[in-house]
Amino acid sequence: MPWKSRKKRFWPCCRQIENDQYSPIPLLSTGIVTLDFALILVVATFLTGIIWLFDIVLLQRSRRLRAAGGQAVSEPVVVEYAKSFFPILLLVLVLRSFVFEPFRIPSGSMMPTLLEGDFIFVNKFAYGLRLPVINSKIVEIGEPERGDVVVFKLPSDPAINYIKRVVGLPGDVVNYDQGSKRLTINDEHVPLELLGAFDGDPGIDLAREELGDGDHMILLTRGRLSLGGTYRVPGGHYFVMGDNRDNSRDSRFQGVEFIPEHRLVGRAVRIWMNWRRPAQGGPRWSRIGKSIE
Terminal-to-terminal C-alpha distance of the chain: 30
CA distance 248 to 245: 6
Residue 8 a catalytic site member = no
Question: From start to end of 23-156, where are the E strands?
Answer: 100-104, 118-123, 129-130, 137-139, 149-154
Going by the DSSP 8-state scheme, the letter that residue 59 receives in this structure is: I
Catalytic one of 8, 153, 164, 181: 164
CA distances from 157 to 152, 160, 219 (A): 11, 6, 27
User: Which letter, b or e, does each residue of 271-290 get, where b requires 16 or more Cβ atoms within 10 Å of its Cβ?
Assistant: bbbbeeeeeeeeebeebeeb
Residue 164 a catalytic site member = yes
Catalytic one of 97, 107, 109, 248: 109
Three-state DSSP class for residue 7: coil
Q: Is the preceding peptide bond at 112 cis, omega within 30 degrees of 0?
A: yes
Mapping DSSP onto H, E and C, the string for 215-282 reads EEEEEEECCCCCCCEEEECCCCEEEEECCECCCCCCCCCCCCCCEEHHHEEEEEEEEEEECCCHHHCC
Question: Assign residue 289 a region: left if phi > 0, alpha if psi is -120 to 50, beta otherwise?
Answer: left
Catalytic residues: 109, 164
